[in-house]
Amino acid sequence: MVLTNLDMDVLRTLAVAMERGSFAQAAQRLGRSQSAVSLQMRKLEGQVGQTLFRKAGRGLALTEAGDVVLGYARRILELNDEAVTAVKGLAVEGTVRLGLHQDFAEAWLPSALAGFARAHPSVHVSAEVERNAVLLERLGQGRLDLVLVFGAAPAPGPCITTTKIAELPMGWIATTDYRRPADALPLVLFEAPCVFRDAALAALERARVPWRLALTSPSLAGLWAAAGAGLGVTVRTRLSLPRGLTLVDGMPKLPKVPLTLHCVSDPSPAVARLRDILLEVLADGLPNEASA
């Protein structure tokens, strides 16, 4: 029996297409034309001898066979990427000092850091979780190598390079059963300075909505706890939205917040490798409405 060797490149296209929801989005992510992506999918259907896609409105849906192939594709790609990264990682050593915001420290980024540590056992990663101003100050002082922050803050020195990753929608967040009061809107916010706090207060002032500070906190956990207890409304992105909290409709419009990665301009191989991995993880993991 002659077995068919599935094309790794085609499997990756399939995985990206299903993550992005369309061939057009996959083509944009992979730097190919939409017709080239469609041709790859036809090639894959020919290799497995099954129809993999079915019509589902304007979206992209898989047949039962398509679901099976996608599951195996993700496992194959994960093993492939882990093997390549592990081999490359043997030649990388040193220390990386990473600073990141609490939204990422408490969400899906730890898994990326754990994967990096497994693939690069000779690299020591030191992570600091702080607010934007503190992280940027420490980067400028040479105490950090990489900093992931919200906002369009300038690089804290001439030896720092900045990559704008995306712009994420801000949202008003409260409990699922929250009811807006008739008098002043109670707010649960970070202490100043804070890009989310500034955006919230500016939006309320423009809409002439009365407000009051119900609670200020230096930690994201404090904000979520206060909002979850029904003390008021807070403003964040939906990256690390806890269970029991949701976006509130009918509120003043908020702007999008830039997400930027600051890095020393002459990074070591270890720093450069973690920077590249973070950019890949963020590109694949951010909400679909984020605009690069």
Read off the tokens for 161. Answer: 């390079």
- What was the pLDDT predicted at 191? 85
- Report DSSP letters for 51-68, one per residue: --EEEETBEEEE-HHHHH
pLDDT reported for residue 268: 87
Which candidate, 126, 140, 106, 101, places its Cα nearest to that of 259? 101
**Whole-number pLDDT of residue 90:** 55
Provide the token pair at 116: 């990096």
Q: Please give the average per-residue pLDDT across 147-164, as a whole number.
A: 80
Whole-number Å distance between alpha carbons of 50 and 69: 10
Q: Work out the pLDDT band at 209, boundaries 50, 70, 90.
A: very high
Task: Read off the pLDDT of each residue in 86-92 and give the average, rounded to a whole number.
Answer: 62
Q: What is the pLDDT of residue 143?
A: 92
Could you tell me the pLDDT band of residue 92, with boundaries at 50, 70 and 90? Answer: low
Residue 254 pLDDT: 94
Instruction: Give the tens place of pLDDT for each residue, 34-83.
Output: 888 889 889 988 888 889 888 777 777 888 988 999 999 999 988 887 77
Q: What is the mean pLDDT of the chain?
A: 85
Instruction: State the pLDDT at residue 291.
Output: 44
Please state which of the ranges 89-103, 182-196, 221-235 shows the lowest mean pLDDT.
89-103
212 vs 120: which has the higher pLDDT:
212
**pLDDT of 185 strictly over 80:** yes
Domain architecture of the chain: domains with CATH: 8-88 (1.10.10.10), 90-168+257-285 (3.40.190.10), 171-254 (3.40.190.10)
| Prediction pTM value | 0.65
For 21-35, 103-117, 223-237, which range has the lowest pLDDT when averaged over its residues?
Answer: 103-117
- Write down the pLDDT at residue 116: 79
In the chain, count of helices (H) and strands (E)? Answer: 10, 12
Give the amino acid at 185: L
| Amino acid 108: pLDDT | 65
The pLDDT of residue 106: 67
Give 260 or 110, the one with higher predicted confidence: 260
Q: CA geometry: angle at 112 spanning 108 and 114, to 5°?
A: 110
Distances from the Cα of 283 to the Cα of 26, 111, 292, angstroms: 12, 15, 8
Mean pLDDT of 226-250: 89
Report the pLDDT value the prediction gives residue 245, as an integer from 0 to 100: 92
Residue-level pLDDT at 188? 94
